[in-house]
A and B are shown apart, each in its own frame.
Chain A
Amino acid sequence: MSTVTGTPDRTSGTPAAPSDAPVRANTARLLRWWPAVVLVLLIVAPYSALPLPGLLDGPLGSPGSLQLLATCLLFGALATGYDLLLGRTGLLSFGHALYFAAGSYATNTIMLEAGLPFAVSAPVGVCFGIALALVLGSVSLRVTGIGFSMVTLAFAQAGSILVSRNPGGFTGGEEGRAAPAELLPSGLVGIEHTANLYWVALGYLVLTLAVVHWAVRSPTGRVWEGIKENERRVEVLGLKPYGFKLSAFVLAGALAALGGLVHLLLTGGSTPQTTTSDFTLSLLVMVVLGGSGTRWGPMVGGILYTWADHRLGDLAGSGAVADLPAVLRVPLSQPLFLLGVVFVAVVHLLPGGLARLPSRIRSVLRATSEGAPAQKEDRHS
């Protein structure tokens, strides 16, 4: 397991080949503070009117841009939480959407049906998500390997069917249900408060990163890593993997339920799309794209995926694409097609995801500067 610290801007951040050691040490020391710098930049972003043509539709601080950025941050956080299972414990769950949707739907339903304010409904909704993760996790984890994956898929699918059938009118079926604006905190409703929602999403991301960071470094987290590497060896040590896996499952479920809450605020309602297995699969794609099991990889994957999904959709509607020949226009108009292809390419060509890219580039640069043939990557690491 290599934890790779990368540069925040992976698309252009090509580390230069180092020339002499002291400069390198200084840069390294400075570079260690980049997350704080990025965080400060993200916090002040709503006050900026910086136009980012191509990246965003409007200026940085405009409601439209903030909404997109908030969604990106939300999914960056969700992917980070999901990686607690995939990359940290080695559990391939196909049902993560369920806990996300549970947080959103439970809170929304309590507000709508019981008329309780958000401040009361939200904790109850999150607790519901946690309880669901505890119950279904304790059942699902009785099987291992691909069996676990399929049980989680089955439960999530059952949840999805339930939601779309609209039992008792609680879920709103295919339409979903809008949250009652009068019960939400007034500072989180309306387009003029988009910045607040953005900060909520940012806060959720920071919280998720902190929780995951703390959890994987705890003694429990080390057992998770052991389980991921070789479950049987953990058993030989006299530890019962079941409880540890369940703790990872519940923690990830809790983070997802919290994310559902943020999503509820951000979109002003609960939608059945969040219950589908496709939703979980997109989380999977984000994590693998960014780099499973790394500190920043899942977040980067989630942000890039969400951004690409939205922006490519906009691009498809633009005249620039409509005029292209069909061979180019058709794939470009389908963000999921492009993302699927990029995903397959990353799985093949870049094991470890985008998080491995800086170290890959570095090793290639080093190899070329030394005139030596590029070292073969050790695929077993």
Chain B
Amino acid sequence: MSTLVLLTMTGLGLGALYFLIASGLSLIFGLMDVLNFAHGALLSIGAYGTWWAASGNLPGAGPGGAGFVLAVLFGTAVGTAAAVLLELTVVRPLYTRPREQVLATVGVGLAVPALLSGIWGSDARTFPGPEALSGTFSLLGAEVPVNRLVLIAAAVVVLIALRLFLGRTRHGLVVRAGVEDRAMVTALGIDVRKAFTLVFAIGGCAAALGGALGGLYFGSVDPRQGTSLLIFAFVVVVTGGMGSVTGAAVASVVIGLVQQFANYYTAAGLGDLAVVVLLAALLLVRPRGLTGRLA
């Protein structure tokens, strides 16, 4: 029983991390048809930003208490800024060339991890975190690490915030409409490119937050973390339907749990394999999974 609980919580924690990456990825693809290969890099920037601040480089920030919150905010802000910069300087000039947009993000996805390892080395760095979050708590007889709970809570907050944004604001309305028919949105007199920057900011913010809290989950940061998570985020996006935030949330939970349980109860690595094969299978069975609607 305790194993089951631990696996479930770990799976949900992982799923929460996937959701933080996949929600933005899904919105960006849904609205702009850009599969953002640099999204993992945004996560890494958030992770390194937080690590840098929490390691005592940012006045007021630190590994514990309010200092850590400040560090997370800093990392998230840096990641958001990087996402906006990415959209404005790399993606936007290629507006009329969709394939080149993807290629450009591939280039950024290669360059950023290389830059990070150039500055801070290619080895994993220990991630400082508050005492309170490094412990465990008892749940149905299992000792569950608190950081799982932090990730899950963050993902739930992001999900609610995204739902409110999409459902209740005019910008959200524009994003939802743009996912369906971008050209028609401009034909109604709306500058849809502002929405592009916005979804990049939102996606970058969520991914960077995922990076900041992912550091707690993994206990360390390394330059390739984001990129290696990206493939699983792709799986989530395709499973949940492109452009669908709720779909991404459900898919994240399913993928996270499947991966954890399969890795534990069968050979190690089989869970990863199962998830990747699931991606191929889903695309083949449901090729329209890539043109989903917002829900």
Q: Which residues of A contact B (CB under 8 A)?
A: 92, 139-140, 142-147, 149-151, 153-155, 157-158, 161-162, 164-165, 277-278, 281-282, 284-285, 288, 330-331, 333-337, 339-341, 343-344, 347-348, 351, 379
Q: How far is the CB of A22 from chain B (nearest CB, A)?
A: 41
Contact B104 A348 (CB under 8 A): yes
**Residue numbers in A under 8 Å from B99 (CB-CB):** 92
Contact B268 A143 (CB under 8 A): no
CA distance A158 to B108 in the complex (A): 24
- Report the nearest B residue to A148, measured CB to CB: B283
Given A165-B267, A330-B118, A347 contacting B283 (CB threshold 8 A): no
User: Beyond A147-B289, A334-B117: 12 further Cβ-contacts under 8 Å?
Assistant: A139-B280, A143-B287, A146-B290, A150-B238, A157-B231, A158-B280, A161-B276, A281-B109, A285-B107, A335-B114, A340-B108, A347-B103
Contact A341 B111 (CB under 8 A): yes
Sample (18) of A-B pairs whose CB atoms are under 8 Å apart: A146-B35, A149-B35, A150-B35, A150-B283, A153-B231, A157-B276, A158-B273, A164-B269, A277-B231, A284-B106, A285-B110, A330-B119, A334-B118, A335-B114, A343-B110, A344-B90, A348-B93, A348-B104
Q: Is B180 an interface residue (CB 8 A)?
A: no
Q: Is B258 an interface residue (CB 8 A)?
A: no
Contact A337 B114 (CB under 8 A): yes
Contact B284 A343 (CB under 8 A): no
Which of A145, A146, A277, A341 is within 8 Å of B107, CB to CB? A341
CA distance A145 to B255 in the complex (A): 24
Given A157-B231, A165-B269, A284-B106, A150 contacting B118 (CB threshold 8 A): no
**Residue numbers in A under 8 Å from B229 (CB-CB):** none
**Residue numbers in B under 8 Å from A335 (CB-CB):** 114
Of A144, A153, A351, A379, most B-chain CB atoms within 10 Å: A153
Q: How far is the CB of A132 from chain B (nearest CB, A)?
A: 14
Of A92, A150, A282, most B-chain CB atoms within 10 Å: A150
**Residue numbers in A under 8 Å from B118 (CB-CB):** 330-331, 333-334, 337
Contact A330 B272 (CB under 8 A): no
A-facing residues in B21-40 (Cβ within 8 Å)? 33, 35, 37
Given A142-B284, A147-B287, A351 contacting B279 (CB threshold 8 A): no
- Report the nearest A residue to B90, measured CB to CB: A344
Q: Is B168 an interface residue (CB 8 A)?
A: no
- Report the nearest B residue to A160, measured CB to CB: B276
- Report the nearest A residue to B242, measured CB to CB: A146
**Residue numbers in B under 8 Å from A143 (CB-CB):** 283-284, 287
**Residue numbers in B under 8 Å from A347 (CB-CB):** 94, 100, 103-104, 107
Contact A161 B35 (CB under 8 A): no
- Report the nearest A residue to B287, measured CB to CB: A143
- Report the nearest A residue to B281, measured CB to CB: A154
CA distance A44 to B231 in the complex (A): 45
Q: Which residues of B contact A (CB under 8 A)?
A: 33, 35, 37, 90, 93-94, 96-97, 99-100, 102-104, 106-115, 117-119, 227, 231, 234-235, 238, 267-269, 272-273, 276-277, 279-280, 283-284, 287, 289-290
- Report the nearest B residue to A339, measured CB to CB: B110
Given A145-B290, A157-B231, A337-B115, A151 contacting B280 (CB threshold 8 A): yes
Q: How far is the CB of B207 from chain A (nearest CB, A)?
A: 18
Which of A150, A334, A351 is within 8 Å of B100, CB to CB? A351
- Report the nearest B residue to A329, measured CB to CB: B118
Task: Give the dominant DSSP class at A's interface.
Answer: helix
Q: How far is the CB of B292 from chain A (nearest CB, A)?
A: 12
Q: How far is the CB of B271 from chain A (nearest CB, A)?
A: 10
CA distance A348 to B280 in the complex (A): 31
Q: How far is the CB of A82 from chain B (nearest CB, A)?
A: 13
Contact B111 A344 (CB under 8 A): yes
Q: How far is the CB of B76 from chain A (nearest CB, A)?
A: 24
Of B93, B119, B276, B287, most A-chain CB atoms within 10 Å: B276
CA distance A143 to B114 in the complex (A): 33
Contact B290 A147 (CB under 8 A): yes
Q: How far is the CB of A85 from chain B (nearest CB, A)?
A: 13
Contact A334 B268 (CB under 8 A): no
What 4 A-B pairs are tightest by C-beta distance, nearest first?
Answer: A340-B111, A336-B114, A337-B114, A334-B118
**Residue numbers in B under 8 Å from A145 (CB-CB):** 290
CA distance A365 to B234 in the complex (A): 46
CA distance A26 to B238 in the complex (A): 57
**Residue numbers in B under 8 Å from A151 (CB-CB):** 279-280, 283-284
Contact A158 B119 (CB under 8 A): no
Given A146-B290, A284-B106, A334 contacting B115 (CB threshold 8 A): yes
Q: How far is the CB of A308 from chain B (nearest CB, A)?
A: 13
- Report the nearest B residue to A158, measured CB to CB: B276
Which of B108, B113, B114 is within 8 Å of A344, CB to CB? B108
**Residue numbers in A under 8 Å from B277 (CB-CB):** 154, 158
CA distance A15 to B118 in the complex (A): 38
Contact B106 A334 (CB under 8 A): no
**Residue numbers in A under 8 Å from B227 (CB-CB):** 278
CA distance A341 to B115 in the complex (A): 10
Which of B103, B268, B269, B276 is within 8 Å of A284, CB to CB? B103
Contact A142 B108 (CB under 8 A): no
- Report the nearest B residue to A146, measured CB to CB: B35
CA distance A343 to B117 in the complex (A): 19
**Residue numbers in B under 8 Å from A282 (CB-CB):** 110
- Report the nearest B residue to A167, measured CB to CB: B267
CA distance A149 to B35 in the complex (A): 10
Contact A154 B114 (CB under 8 A): no
CA distance A284 to B111 in the complex (A): 14
**Residue numbers in A under 8 Å from B267 (CB-CB):** 165
Contact B106 A285 (CB under 8 A): yes
**Residue numbers in A under 8 Å from B283 (CB-CB):** 143, 147, 150-151, 154
Contact A154 B110 (CB under 8 A): no
- Report the nearest B residue to A166, measured CB to CB: B269
CA distance A157 to B238 in the complex (A): 15
Contact A153 B234 (CB under 8 A): yes
CA distance A157 to B108 in the complex (A): 20
Q: How far is the CB of A142 from chain B (nearest CB, A)?
A: 6
Given A157-B231, A331-B115, A343 contacting B107 (CB threshold 8 A): yes
